[in-house]
Each structure stands twice: as C-alpha cells, then as structure tokens.
Chains A and B, each alone.
Chain A
Amino acid sequence: MKKKIFIIILSIFLLFLNAQVSVVLAAELIIVANRNIKQNEISKDEIKFIYLGRKKKWDDDSRITFVVLRSKLYQEKFMTNFLGKTPEQFDHYWKQNVFTGNGQTPITFENIKDLVDFIANRDGSVGYVPDDATIGNLKILKIK
C-alpha cells in the first residue's frame, strides 16, 4: 500500500516536471505617479514598502494607491528587482493579507493605457511602466 502511494506521488511529480523558461526584457521600467504627488524621487526601499503595504501614506499623509501591471515580462522584472519576490510570491503575500483582514487585493491592469489612465485620475497613485510607454502628464519618480 505504502509502495503504491509512493509510486503514484513520484509519477505525478515526473509528469509535471517542466523546464523553466527564461525571458529577455528589452525595455527598462520607470516609476510613474499622479501629477499631484509632491515628491520627485523615490528609493527602492520605499517602492518595496509601498507594494508590500507597509508604507501607506506619502510624506504629506495622503494615501498611497499602488497599481500592478499584470504583464508577465514587466511584472516579473519589477518584482524581482524592487520587491525581491516572484509574481507568485507577491500574489501569495497579498492573498495572506486578504484572508487575514490585513489588506485588500492590489489594483491590477492588463494593459498600460488603462494603468496610465487610472494613475492620471487617482490622487496619490503610483505604478510602473516600460520607459517607452506613453504616459501623458504622469510624473516620473526618479529612483534615488
């Protein structure tokens, strides 16, 4: 009985074993924010704390709304470089918050135009886009 169970688990393991696919990203990412935000610079740590829900307000005490660009290429690069997490770890982290009452699901967009429009119309909002994206009158926050 024990041997059969072990063989079943091993077979399923081998069945779902896949090689990882690596992706080369052409564009760099920039941090963009609503025009009304007072600061012009932001540190990598601040970005990390914002996206992990630990920094919830700008220096003037106004609320931060961060948005996620749900694009495999850009999301993976942003989260690896700024948060030290994979997109799956990020989703897992926010699911923990949602199901323990410590936060709500991050606002996400599949395409850049919708993300840019949202940030343009929501005070205190911030996000990331490729540096060749059309960002209208959004403010670019320089990484310090």
Chain B
Amino acid sequence: MKKYILIHFLIVFMMICIPALSFATDIGLEDIKKSTAENIEIHGFLSQGYLESDHNNFLAKTEDGTFQFNEFGINFSTRLTDSLEAGVQFFGRDMGTVGNDEVRFDWAFLNYNWKDWAGFKIGKMKMIYGLYNEVREIDMLRPQTLLPQSVYVEVYRDSMAAITGADIYGHIPTKLFGSFLYEFQVGVLPFSVDDGVSQLIESTNYAWKLKLTEVDSEYAWSYGITWEPPVDGLKFRYSGFEVNGLYAEGDVSATLPADINHDGTISPGEGVPVSSFDLDYNLVRFDVASAEYAIGDFVLAAEYMNMDLVALYQLGPVKVRRNTPYMGWYVSGAYRLNELFTMGLSYSEFYPNANDKDGNTQVAAGRKDFQGWQKTYTVSTKFDVNQNWMFKLEASYNDGFGTIQPFYNSPENIEPYWWLFAAKATVSF
C-alpha cells in the first residue's frame, strides 16, 4: 500500500514540476520543444559473450559452454532547460534463464540541477551501491567481463540495478579536504517471479517443489557518500541500501514429517501435506566500503560488502526464522598498456554465511564444506579495437563454491576447485 501511495505521489509531483519549472525559468513549451529537437543525443551498445566452466555450472549452464550471456541497450537524452534534463535507456539482457532478452526501462528520469550542491531526480534511476553498480549493465566501461561476484552478486542484479522514486544529490567542495559528493534515493525496487531473487528462493526450497506466485516489496532507500581527497585520482565511498517489506508467496507440494497416526514412529511419507509457502524478510540491508585510485594508466580498487538478512519462512503450519549475513570483498588492479590493450587482475572472497567461514553449517545442512566460501583469482584482458568496438577474454580460478546461486547443479556433482572462462565482444556508439 505504501509503495502505491509513493508512486502516485511522485507522478503528481512530476506533473506539477514540469510546467512549474518552465514558468520559473521563463521558458515556454515551444522553447522546450526547440531545445529538445536540437540536442537529443542517442547512444547504444550491444554485447555478446560466452561462458564456460570446467566444473560447476555458474550463473548459467556453463559446463557445456553457453552463449546465454548478452546485453543490449539504447538511450535518448536531452536538455529541456538550463537546469532540467531528461533521458531514458531501454535495456535487455540474457544470463542463463534470467532476462531472456526481455526489453525493459533501464532508467528514465528527469534531472533538475538546482545548485551544484543540490540537484533532484525523479523517475527510474540507477541505484547507488559500491563503485560500479550504476554501470554494471555497461560492459565496455570496465576491463572485467564479470564484476567481482563477492560484492556484485549477479542473482540480485535485476532487482538492484535501478530504483524508481526520487533522488537528491550534490557536490560540496572544500578548500582543505577535497570534495564530497552525496546521493540519497528512496523508492521501489523491481521484483518479479522470473528474476534472479525469485530463482534463488525457489532453488533453496527446491525440496518442496516451490513455485513462487508473487514477489514484491514496500519500498527501498539507498545512499552514497563519496570523498575525493586532494590527491588526483583517489576516492573513497560508503554506500548501501535497505529493502523494506520484501515478501514472497508461492505454492509447494510437500509433506511435513509428523506422527499422524500417533503410533510413536514416523513412517516414510507420513506427515502433514502443505501447499502454501510464505517468506517475509524482516531485514535486507547491504553496505559497501569502497576505495579507488586511478594514477596514470593504473586503476586500483578495493571493496568490502556486508549484507544482513533476516527472513521468516512459513511452510504450512511451520515457521522458521533465518539470519544469514553475507560477506564479501575484493581487490583489483587494471593497467592500460596502450590504446589497444588493458589488463586486469583481481582476487575476491565471498562467504554466504559470514558467521561460518569454515563451512561447518553447510556440512550440518547436508552440503559440502567448500560451499561455505568462494575465493576467486581472475585475469582479465580488454582489447579496444577502436572507439566503438572492443572484446574481452577472462579466466577465473575458484576455490570453493560458496555462491548463493547454485542453480543448474546437482549437489553430488559440485567440485571445490574449478575454472570459469569468459569472452565478450561489445559494440557501442
């Protein structure tokens, strides 16, 4: 209910703002039309990739090699007045069974730059999270083919990419301490029964043959504070977001073991049949501390992510509360050797349960201990053929399979040590 009130409020606010701002700047609709016609910019990109692993399917059916790994987008932007800009980007992607090249709004918003220290956006905009969430859809803007999964978990990508609501941002320079940039967002995140979050919920409850019928949330908020000290190329950022009222409902086909006939034993198949599943998240919160240093043709980056998650599961009459904090971090370096070639190295660690880095709870749950961590060494190469074309090759060596997205794998076939190879070509304009 809160989400719909917020959306309607924002729509009404936008309907008031546009004519009000036109009046305030003494520019009429004809001037907006003329300005728009003169400077509409159009940009786009298309990426096609290939993934293959020697063991363990990761993100898609990679053991057999897969081309289900692409992204494409086109955007239009214009300046409506001296202070008001508008733009929209359409985007589609495919990664395994997620995306399936369905075109959606990536972002679409009005941006009113009132002062350098205060600007406002309304609409759907990229969500602040870490250094690279805002550009994670844009492959040609980084040397890596895949962002470090320890911080940029792929399964959450569809829901974390953008927030629909309102945004306030600004730049505050100081004489001694460099510059501070801030950005705060509030709105709603997109969830659907076909996205990565839903796949994750269904896969972790596959024993009950769970099929989700609804996934949604009330609202979310995000923040980003960036400090650029008086050292060229250096920046620090603290950012994160919280989702409120996230829930999932679905149908299951399961029997909860119970002594129905009161004979003191539970026979195979004896129990209470259940058909409904409810999941309420009391807390979903991500926080990231980031640092980046670009010096000459070198870029060094490091990020640390902490995620708190408290969920209440209800399967028929049974309720279970789970507190599962994730933790992940990485360090990376990239060097642009010349106009053609950039090389990158990174190391990352991810723990699906930050309180159990040895995998003991995995073993207790009937899984393997190495599903309690994932340590990844990655070599990335990028070839800029020209301003429009580039392609990448990447190899990752993994110790552990602590991914929270173990889809497409049979538990008995998961291996502790495995390689993932990626190749991708991108054209942009």
Which residue numbers of A lie inside 8 Å of B, CB to CB?
Answer: 1-2, 5-6, 8-9, 12-13, 16-18, 20, 45, 49, 54-57, 62-63, 84-86, 88-89, 92, 95-96, 98-102, 104-105
Lowest 4 CB-CB distances: which A-B pairs, in order?
Answer: A84-B232, A16-B341, A63-B82, A54-B171
> If A6-B395, A49-B171, A89-B294 touch, does A99 touch B75 (CB 8 Å cutoff)?
yes
* B338, A16: Cβ atoms closer than 8 Å: yes
* A100, B135: Cβ atoms closer than 8 Å: yes
Partner of A99, one of B43, B125, B337, B338: B43
* A2, B107: Cβ atoms closer than 8 Å: no
Contacts of A101 in B (CB 8 A): 75, 77, 87-89, 107, 109, 111, 125-126
Docked complex Cα distance between A20 and B341 (Å): 13
Contacts of B140 in A (CB 8 A): 95
Whether B30 sits at the interface, judged by CB under 8 Å, is no
Contacts of A16 in B (CB 8 A): 337-338, 340-341, 383
> If A16-B338, A49-B171 touch, does A5 touch B135 (CB 8 Å cutoff)?
no
* A100, B107: Cβ atoms closer than 8 Å: yes
Which residue numbers of B lie inside 8 Å of A, CB to CB?
Answer: 39, 41, 43, 45, 54, 73, 75, 77, 79, 82-83, 85, 87-89, 107, 109, 111, 113, 115-116, 125-126, 134-135, 137-138, 140-141, 171, 173, 179, 181, 232-233, 294, 296-297, 336-338, 340-341, 343, 379, 381, 383, 393, 395, 419, 421
* B395, A104: Cβ atoms closer than 8 Å: no
Contacts of A105 in B (CB 8 A): 41, 43
10 of the cross-chain contacts (CB-CB < 8 Å) are: A9-B381, A13-B341, A13-B381, A17-B341, A18-B338, A49-B116, A99-B89, A99-B138, A101-B88, A104-B85
* A5, B54: Cβ atoms closer than 8 Å: no
Q: Would you give the shortest CB distance from B40 to chain A, in whole angstroms?
A: 10
Q: Would you give the shortest CB distance from B106 to chain A, in whole angstroms?
A: 9
* A62, B82: Cβ atoms closer than 8 Å: yes
* A102, B111: Cβ atoms closer than 8 Å: yes
* B111, A84: Cβ atoms closer than 8 Å: no
* A86, B75: Cβ atoms closer than 8 Å: no
* B419, A2: Cβ atoms closer than 8 Å: yes
* B171, A85: Cβ atoms closer than 8 Å: no
Closest residue of A by beta carbon distance from B108: A101
Contacts of B115 in A (CB 8 A): 57
Q: Would you give the shortest CB distance from B226 to chain A, in whole angstroms?
A: 11
Partner of B173, one of A18, A45, A96: A45
Contacts of A49 in B (CB 8 A): 116, 171, 173, 179
Partner of A9, one of B75, B82, B393, B419: B393
Contacts of A13 in B (CB 8 A): 337, 341, 343, 381
Contacts beyond the supplied A2-B54, A101-B125, A104-B41: 8 A-B pairs with Cβ under 8 Å: A13-B337, A17-B341, A54-B171, A55-B116, A57-B82, A86-B296, A92-B141, A98-B77
